[in-house]
A = this chain, B = another copy of it.
Amino acid sequence: MRELSRLELAVLGLVSAGAPCTAYWIRRQFQRSPSSHFSGSAGAVYPAVGRLEKRGLLCTTTRRDGGRRKRLYRLTRNGEAALRAWLLPPLPVEDVAFSVDPVRTRVYYLGILSAEERQQFVEDALAQTRRHAAVVAADCDARRLGSDRMQYLGARGVLYETRARLRWLEELRRELEDAVL
């Protein structure tokens, strides 16, 4: 059996947290998160829940809510087992090593810019990352007293990461200044 995609796994997790829930609700969770790399597009989520249902990891009950129909999803036994298997150690190495940062990707090639342009790049990156860090911190605070502790702790991870990026950019700025002298 093919491995579950990251999206499918995330959907499984969301359903476990929010069951019974609609595919639409799942989409919104992705859209609202300030840091998910999933767009939460219908074209991704609906096929994903469909695949999970066909695999027997999700089950659905169709409810008629006025003239509006809702498909409510829940985990099956197998779904819970799959979620647990994903969560239980050991973590796959490639997941530990995985890391993408579109700002960093750019930094590797900053050499082609003039010293001045490089500085502009770093200033812009710093300013924008600071703005983003504020958003993340607010999101963190919002979840702080929420019912789902893990939601808060996950958000803390985003904050740590964002602040690390900030400190790195500050080091970068210092290094580039030194190079100019």
Say yes or no: B120 contacts A89, CB within 8 Å. yes
A113-B84 CB under 8 A given contacts A98-B37, A100-B98? yes
A108 CB → nearest B CB, Å: 4
Decide if A167 touches B160 in the complex (CB within 8 Å).
yes
Say if the beta carbon of A1 comes within 8 Å of chain B: no
A21 proximal to B (CB < 8 A): no
A61 contacts the other chain (CB 8 A): no
Closest to A158 in B: B99
> CB distance A107 to B154 under 8 Å?
yes
Interfacial chain B residues near A89, Cβ < 8 Å: 120-121, 123-124
Q: Is A181 at the interface (CB under 8 A from chain B)? A: no
With A17-B111, A112-B80, A154-B107 given, is the CB distance from A99 to B168 under 8 Å? no
Assess the A172–B148 pair: CB atoms within 8 A: no
Closest to A166 in B: B160
Interface: A6 (CB within 8 A): yes
Tell me if A145 is interfacial: C-beta within 8 Å of chain B: no
Q: Does A132 contact B (CB under 8 A)?
A: yes
Interface string of A1-43 (1 = CB under 8 A from B): 0000010011001001100000000000000001111000000
With A34-B97, A80-B112, A104-B154 given, can you name 18 additional A-B contacts, CB distance below 8 Å? A13-B106, A16-B112, A17-B108, A37-B98, A83-B112, A86-B106, A89-B121, A89-B124, A90-B124, A91-B106, A91-B125, A96-B125, A96-B129, A101-B157, A101-B161, A156-B168, A160-B168, A161-B164
